[in-house]
Structure 1
Amino acid sequence: MRTLGIFKRRKRVLVISWDGVPFSFLKKGMEEGRFPLFSKLITGGAFGRMTSVLPTISSVAWTSYMSGKNPGGHGIFGFIDRKPSPLSFFIPTGKDRRAEFIQEVLSREKKRVISINIPMTTPPFEVNGILVSGFLSTKIEKATYPPEFSRVLKEMGYIIDANPVKAKDRKDEYLEDLFLALRKRFELAERLIRERWDYFHLHVMETDRINHFFWKEKDERFWKFYSEVEELSISLVEKAKDALLILLSDHGFCTLKKEVFVNKYLEDGGYLFFDKEPPEDIRDISEKTVAYSLIPGRIYINLKGREEKGSVEPGDYERVREEVASYLEKLTVDGERVIKKVWRREEVYSGPYTDLGPDLILEPVDGFDLKGNLKKETLSGETHIEGMHTRDDAFLFVKEREFTKDNLSIYDLFPSILSEFSIKVSSDGEVCWRG
């Protein structure tokens, strides 16, 4: 005789992330009659604006999502980072992070994980399931766990990332590549959604790409692309109706008005000097240098004992840092204020790796993209890039839940998702929904 109610259905969580899609963009689009499927979907859950990270870079944001920690707790501070002595530069990957990811936590708890295309999962790491790493992977053969799963990707013609170099002079070709990459991404997801899993995360990087290069005009092709993102996402959702659905982005977007060369401003103010003209890279700074900048708006004081060519005495650090901060606050382009706020490191970061981060972090006014170029004749310049990241306009949707706080943060996803599996791990966020 069969007894009803003995077997409890497995808890499952489905996450689909649209990189760089703003809350305000979706809200306005729905008001204009766009996103009909998404508009219908969000009536059955909580939909709100979410704050991202500083600096607002995808690699930092997704590391924070997967770890629940701020950069001071996970050690990733930007798309490019530096070692101060001897001074050298590198592109951080997943091997440089210093915190456990949600996929690893769930795997340890015997939950089956499927993770597709999330930034900072390169190189791929062991999970209880399948992991396909994101855009920093250069070869499909080295982009999966288990390694042999890469054969599936090769057979289906999977694309790790569309080449953004094409976006400058071959935009039509680049857009075709974005469509193809998007379709292959969902083709893989449709295949894997039929597997057994507890946590499934599909990341759509192509939304960030199209926003960077097609944001200003938002022509018919732009909206066609977003319609396809919406349709493919909802189709995948339909394959897992029993799962808790989470849709989110990692940051917002706005129109890029000007690139601003922070090192030029520091040089003009007498804070940055070079031993070699023109300098090849930041390693050519002089011992007379007081401060220098890495993209986007990360300021390092040239501190003696820390930096290879350090000039600022430790006893003068606070005074010099405040002087540089005050100077940077005054930065203007064409009479417009460029810097919304200059943050001190300890205001933004906490944790054992805080000292690896910049001394000051510049939060720009929307429209001004802070660059780290060394030798520029002018303080600002034009670019073919049309859109840039914003910190305070990411979105979060959770089906059949209600939010328990107003100030949603990307740090909240880690503890909130784990709470669905009754798992508690220390984090910088808090559970932000109930239901």
Structure 2
Amino acid sequence: MEIGPELLERWDKEHFWHPFTQMKVYREEENIIFERGEGVYLWDIHGKRYIDAISSLWCNVHGHNHPKLNNAIMRQLCRVAHTTTLGSSNVPAVLLAKKLTEIAPEGLTKVFYSEDGAEAVEIALKMAYHYWRNRGEERKVFITLSEAYHGDTIGAVSVGGIDLFHGTYRDLLFETIRLPSPYLYCKKEFGELSQTCLADLVMKLQELLRARRDVVALVLESGIQAAAGMLPYPKGFLKEVRELTKKEGVLLILDEVATGFGRTGSMFYCEQEGVTPDFMCLGKGITGGYLPLAATLTTDEVYEAFLGEFGEAKHFYHGHTYTGNNLASAVALANLQVFEEENTLENLKPKIDLLTERLKEFWELEHVGDVRQLGFMAGIELVKDREKGEPFPYGERTGFKVARKCWEKGVFLRPLGDVMVLMMPLVIGEEDMNYVLDTLKGAIAEIG
């Protein structure tokens, strides 16, 4: 029996509790239910076409319904869909682990799988803490940034710093120390992301590391605080932080969930600053946006701290039912093959240049307070009064109103509050890019 649009829309509102969504508002509005996709386009149940301008929450890389990714899943499905990796293995998970260590920064040689970016971070936190325990050291404090976002599990929330998302759960969380958000601090204190500000931030971190000898790790998003509204770091910040953590004997956990797999113009942002962290967390684009998979990469040094006789109980007690799932690993392998075969990163360079040029136009708009970009990631901040730095009231949902105007013209966006996020599939053509940018610019211009 075919289920019609009217029934689907009713059941959606009656039974489906959506993430990061005020369901009272959702139930009162008309919303999109997607039915199929092809390339950078999505179609809803009424047959309307949209450009997927946020890559289905930042994860689609090569477009929807890509034949090579589809075939990889179908080939694996005809073999076996899932087998446990608790004490056993499977072919695609083995091959993917080998491939990830080949493309990762040198020194990241071990791969622990999970199902999403938050768990990849959770694993890194537990591994880092457990590493020091296995070495006979009692360390318990993590350093993170204000405005940080690493996911929504309890450990990931503990190292988060967005009060709107995380404040409710504060009593459940473990101890952390927060440094200021580099972008916001530099803008406030120095007016720009200057080398002076960079030196000041590094000095603050150095003082902290020398005052506290119980620090497990420093936890950072790589290159940009994406969920905070696309807040980039000063160039060189990551490199300076890595050198300092090495010098002071503190682990570095780098969250590349949003930035990995081409989003910043290189496979991983940390490559651009020549950084190898102790842990690198991957998710989102790892399967090209097809199936839930994530990975935590680490070093031989960390791995070897968990080796011992069985009775010593030094091994890592963590794992989920679908860890290293066969189907997800198979499509992730195909995703990396497509990167190579279609020269995805090379073809992305002129699109980043085009985005950079087109974003300059948004400064002409009255209600644009800031425009921020790192590679193919961008955020356009909407404000009520740019001169006074006055934001729109939170309850007015200005960003969502702008997004809905874009939906009407066939561009699918989801803002972060009043920051309009652009995170287009890496394969989008220039004509579609220009349409997205023209549509968004027009929608912002209509703000009263």
Q: TM-score, normalised by structure 1?
A: 0.31
Greater helix fraction, Structure 1 or Structure 2: 2
Q: TM-score, normalised by structure 2?
A: 0.31
Larger RCO (CA within 8 A; separation ≥ 6): 1
